């Protein structure tokens, strides 16, 4: 049964949000949603431009009497992180999301919701479609491929956009205005390994870490959530300290900007080691539960003895090399900002590991609001990977967005917010890679600000969007557009 949004307000925003949820739009596969937006523009007789990267910008004339106002760009990205629970059968390339309401929140059944950043697209479309609204000249910029390296913004044709002020609607906490963001880079190490014949008199086991919350590797890295790859390597390291271990499978994580929720590793050891293996795994299961029970109540550490051993395994020395590399790679907060107390300055995410054929690929991402600190932590990660014999690939490098606490648009936002709520907003920077950093390099004189409704646990199947916060954020957006 289709999701019933008829009783939700604002109706047009939720209607467009539902439409978007039914269009497959994983990163790098946004063709269908761009076509939807093109058809929207043509239906409403609004001029638009599209560049070679796939970005699209729609223009809407000012309301009568507002023609001389500064031109505002409403900006969001059309792609989404496509993650699902392992027990869910779902094809992101062909199926629409199954939305459901849980109290005052909208979520999806077993998958990410795509509120990051579908709600921005929905709000922009609702503004464009409503001829009764009051505003100056408008542009709506919809970018592609934000989630896998900000490449849409990086490859944007700047001639498409002529606005003076940019509203990035890609933040996740209502009442917080962001005026700066971290720069970042993705560091990938590809390590060749030797595959040999499994020795006689061995037995095989499978170790699985599951039930973790995961989350955004920028916005939620400071919470100290568990990392399944880190947990798995910690246990494997303890095993290699006691006996020879030969890996034949290891898989954990997926996206560079998501804290991995699950990881599994399969390995062989000499026969007669079962009691010792079980004791080590149980020991670390108890340790991890004690250390993380407050933030990871659903953590699972499972060990299964397999019925048979594989024909091919990694050599014991290469198994140790991979396990040690994962074990010593840093993860989490590296340093806090001294300019903005409470803000993470620098972090790194051990995002994924995969063994395929005779290659192990390790995916990491680094972030910092200070470019020299970003260079330092990225170099440290590269050095560790290089010592393991990895070939290094760097992707998605993007600059930080330097805060301007004296910008005119920030003053307007604060004024409108205080008048409508009676409260002072929080003004800060975010430890995540917003497109503002990339766009700021292309439009040096453009004022920018980022805001959005309340969202929780984005980039995970627990992602949810606050219904009342969408209404308040919509009302705020319309009031700001009148004021600018």
Judged on CB neighbours under 10 Å (0-12, 13-18, 19+), 114 is: buried
- Cβ atoms 58, 89 nearer than 8 A: no
Query: What is the pLDDT, as a whole number, of residue 115?
Result: 98
Judged on CB neighbours under 10 Å (0-12, 13-18, 19+), 210 is: middle
Query: What is the pLDDT, as a whole number, of residue 452?
Result: 98
User: Which position among 30, 79, 116, 296 bears the catalytic label?
Assistant: 79
- Cβ atoms 98, 21 nearer than 8 A: no
Averaged pLDDT for residues 130-146: 98
Query: What is the pLDDT, as a whole number, of residue 157?
Result: 98
Please indicate whether residue 146 is annotated as part of the active site. yes
Write the CATH number of the domain with boundaries 185-398. Answer: 3.30.70.360
Q: Is the pLDDT of residue 1 over 70?
A: no
User: Which position among 51, 83, 145, 146 bears the catalytic label?
Assistant: 146
**Left (φ > 0), alpha (ψ -120 to 50) or beta: where does 459 sit?**
left
CA atoms of 101 and 217, how far apart (whole Å) = 26
Averaged pLDDT for residues 205-232: 96
CA atoms of 242 and 221, how far apart (whole Å) = 32
Please indicate whether residue 397 is annotated as part of the active site. no
**Left (φ > 0), alpha (ψ -120 to 50) or beta: where does 242 sit?**
alpha
CATH top-level class of 11-182+400-483? alpha beta
Q: Is the pLDDT of residue 2 over 90?
A: no
Digit-coded pLDDT (tens) for 460-483: 899 999 999 999 999 999 999 999
Two structure tokens written together for 118: 């579908």
pTM (two decimals): 0.75
Query: What is the pLDDT, as a whole number, of residue 342?
Result: 87
- Cβ atoms 12, 126 nearer than 8 A: yes
Query: What is the pLDDT, as a whole number, of residue 414?
Result: 98
Query: What is the pLDDT, as a whole number, of residue 338?
Result: 84
List the single range of 114-123, 214-223, 281-290 with lowest mean pLDDT: 214-223
Greater pLDDT, 87 or 411: 411
Domains 11-182+400-483 and 185-398 belong to one CATH topology = no
Digit-coded pLDDT (tens) for 322-364: 999 999 999 999 999 887 788 899 999 999 999 999 999 999 9
* Domain residue ranges of the chain, discontinuous segments joined by +: 11-182+400-483, 185-398
| Residue 65, CA distances (Å) to 44, 47, 396, 482 in order | 21, 21, 43, 11
Give the up-direction half-sphere exposure of residue 211: CA atoms within 13 A in the CB hemisphere. Answer: 15
Digit-coded pLDDT (tens) for 254-311: 989 899 999 999 999 999 999 999 999 999 999 999 999 999 999 999 999 999 999 9
């Amino acid at each position: 049964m289709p999701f019933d949004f008829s009783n939700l307000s604002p109706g047009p925003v939720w209607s467009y949000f539902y439409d978007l949820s039914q269009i497959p739009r994983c990163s790098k596969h946004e063709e269908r949603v761009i076509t939807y937006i093109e058809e929207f523009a043509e239906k409403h007789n609004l001029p638009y431009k599209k560049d070679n990267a796939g970005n699209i910008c729609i223009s809407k004339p000012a309301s009568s009497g507002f023609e001389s106002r500064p031109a505002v760009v409403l900006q969001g990205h059309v792609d989404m992180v496509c993650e699902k629970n392992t027990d869910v059968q779902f094809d992101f390339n062909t199926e629409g999301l199954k939305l459901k309401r849980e109290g005052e929140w909208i979520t999806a059944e077993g998958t990410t919701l795509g509120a990051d950043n579908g709600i921005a697209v929905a709000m922009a479309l609702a503004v464009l479609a409503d001829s009764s609204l009051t505003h100056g000249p408008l542009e709506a910029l919809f970018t592609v491929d934000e989630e896998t390296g900000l490449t849409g913004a990086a490859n944007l044709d700047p001639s498409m956009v002529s606005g003076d002020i940019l509203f990035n609607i890609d933040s996740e906490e209502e009442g917080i205005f962001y005026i700066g963001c971290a720069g970042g880079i993705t560091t990938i190490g590809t390590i060749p390994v030797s595959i040999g014949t499994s020795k006689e008199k061995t037995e095989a086991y499978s170790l699985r870490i599951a039930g973790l919350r995961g989350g955004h590797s920028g916005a939620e890295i400071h919470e100290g959530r568990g990392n399944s790859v880190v947990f798995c390597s910690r246990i494997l390291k303890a095993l290699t300290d006691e006996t020879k271990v030969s890996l034949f499978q290891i898989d954990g994580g997926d996206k560079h900007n998501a804290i991995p929720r699950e990881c599994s590793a399969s390995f062989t050891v000499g026969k007669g080691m079962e009691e010792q293996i079980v004791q080590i795994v149980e020991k670390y299961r108890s340790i991890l539960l004690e250390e993380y029970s407050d933030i990871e109540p659903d953590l699972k550490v499972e060990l299964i003895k397999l019925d048979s051993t594989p024909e091919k395994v990694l050599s014991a020395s290469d198994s140790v090399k991979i396990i040690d590399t994962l074990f010593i790679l840093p993860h989490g907060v590296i340093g806090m900002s001294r300019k903005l107390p409470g803000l993470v300055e620098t972090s790194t995410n051990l995002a994924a590991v995969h063994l395929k054929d005779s290659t192990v690929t390790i995916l990491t991402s680094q972030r910092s609001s200070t470019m020299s600190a970003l260079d330092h932590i990225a170099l440290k990660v590269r050095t560790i990977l290089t010592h393991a014999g990895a070939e290094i690939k760097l992707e998605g490098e993007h600059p930080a967005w330097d805060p301007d606490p004296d910008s005119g648009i920030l003053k307007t936002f604060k004024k409108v917010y205080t008048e409508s709520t009676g409260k002072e907003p929080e003004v800060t920077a975010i430890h995540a890679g917003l497109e503002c950093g990339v766009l700021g390099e292309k439009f040096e004189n453009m004022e920018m600000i980022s805001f959005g409704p309340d969202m929780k646990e984005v980039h995970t199947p627990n992602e949810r969007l606050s219904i009342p916060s969408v209404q308040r954020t919509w009302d705020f957006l319309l009031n700001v557009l009148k004021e600018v």
